[in-house]
Chains A and B, each alone.
Chain A
Amino acid sequence: MQALVELENASYRAPRRRGLFGPARPEILQQISFSICAGESIAVIGANGSGKTTLLRLLAGIYRPSAGKVTNRSATTSMLSIGVGFVPQLSGRENAILSGILLGFTRRQVESRIAQIREFSDLGAAFEAPLATYSSGMRARLGFSVSALLEPDLLLIDEVFAVGDKDFVKKSMAVMENKFRSTHTIVMVSHNLQLIGRICSRTLWIDKGRCRMDGPTEEVVAAYQGTAEAPVS
């Protein structure tokens, strides 16, 4: 079977040097090669700054590799980001529409779901108030409620759930797990090793921009936990 996504020796270098006399550009990802088949759920783990987010952006087509090749054959790819394009002066409703359009919907599509977004976000009357008046938890709830609409063929997740208070965390986790079952293919960056064990059968361990290990989740997580950089559980 043909792979849905293929990376062949993909490298990524940070943006140009800062000005004429700036420092040289570091290479964030170095010669990463792996492929993703349709239907797989893959976790990406590694220490902070190892290049996990950059890898997702390569997969999302936001970045182009500075060397090597990234081939994505899925019809639709979405990076699940919370609160994309949020503007403090706009109301919750306006931000939901703006964010929805940025995430890939038409205005009509978002507006037809606006009641659903409002209800899911639990914001009540605050939905019409400027975002500047929101707490960070309310902001995250609004963002999640918009992102929850996404149903792409390839879903990329960068550590986004568990937002808001306890009840909302439960609710959003339920939505996410439902999505994991219904979406065909998922690549997810997470430090939550328990969650990964439950959801992803395969795990990629990125270490200082290189792929250190790629295999069944139990094996990779076990090896990762043996090192100092693993989070304490």
Chain B
Amino acid sequence: MKSGSPDIFERSRDLVLYLTYTNLRVESSRYYLNFLWWIIDPLLMLATYYILFGLIIQHSVPDFIPFLLVGLVCWQWFSNSVSHAMGSVLSSGMLIRQVYFPKLVLPVSVLLVDFVKILVVIAVLLVFVWSYGFAPGVHYLALPLVMMVQAVLIYGVAVMMAGLVPLLPDLRLIVLALLQLSFFLSGVLFQPTDVPEQFLWLFYLNPMAPIIEAWRAILLYAAWPHWGNLGQALVIGVACSLAGNLLFRQLDPVFPNIVEEG
């Protein structure tokens, strides 16, 4: 049996999938309640926001609870993915010095782990939304499309950051701060109609804003997403993805030299 020769694509695919599987297994085996935490953890998070913004702080949005939860779940997918994946190369210093493999495998497998976990949360969210009285309709057809746009955006931002963080580890802290800021600017807690008209274009420059709006349109308002704004998010996502891939192609042989052992 020859090694290394067969097919770099097949090998990378196997590596991504097996790493995803083992990561999910390792993560769940760490706790007594095992994979039940994939549901409990987001539920606790949602409960926190419910207590804060549903019970304590006053607001004007009708049906604020489902409004908030849809936005939160959508945002969590983006935020968790980016914050987990951006350190994936930096934290694999030991491994990438022992064997050669395409380093892009590292952020991609982390993204898949978060994707599997968010699918569970989305399932819970849908059940909640339906039981709240928002029945599914024909507009659900657009949901896979919106999720695809979001997936492209997440891939682009996460891969770009995973490539840049080894060069400048400080970037991690900056990105975490930016994620915090854009959480408040993406309209998770307010409606686009609350934004002053002259700043609306600025609000929509953030690609997560139209994506969150699209989720709400589909799940709560029985409406189609705003295709123009969504298209703009897609363009940003594709641009980031291309930049991220280019970065990894350039840095792939450099990473083992610059990432410290550990």
Contact = CB atoms under 8 A, between A and B. Distances in A.
A105 B1 contact: yes
B18 A81 contact: no
Given A105-B1, A152-B4, A97 B18 contact: yes
The majority secondary structure among interface residues of chain B is: helix
B15 interface: yes
Interface stretch (A42-50, A87-95, A187-195, A205-213): A87-95
Contacts of B2: 75-76, 151-152
B116 interface: no
Contacts of A78: 3-4
A60 B3 contact: no
Contact of A87 (B5, B7, B26, B258): B26
A73 interface: no
Interface string A48-65: 000000000100111110
A117 interface: no
A76 B5 contact: yes
Interface in A95-116: 97-98, 101-109, 113
Interface string A1-35: 00000000000000110100000000000000000
Contacts of A66: 257
Contacts of B99: 60, 62, 79, 81, 84-85, 102-104
Interface string B209-233: 0000000000000000000000000
A77 interface: yes
A56 B1 CA distance: 23
Contacts of A87: 22, 26
Interface stretch (B49-57, B90-98, B192-200, B238-246): B90-98
A104 B105 CA distance: 13
A199 interface: no
B128 interface: no
Contacts of A89: 25-26, 29-30
A149 interface: yes
A107 B14 contact: yes
B3 A76 contact: yes
A150 interface: yes
A194 to B, nearest CB: 27
Contacts of A113: 1
Contacts of A63: 97, 256-257
B262 to A, nearest CB: 11
B258 A102 contact: no
Contacts of A57: 97, 256
A98 B22 contact: yes
Contacts of A94: 22, 25
Interface of B: 1-7, 10-11, 14-15, 17-19, 22, 25-26, 29-30, 95-101, 253-254, 256-260
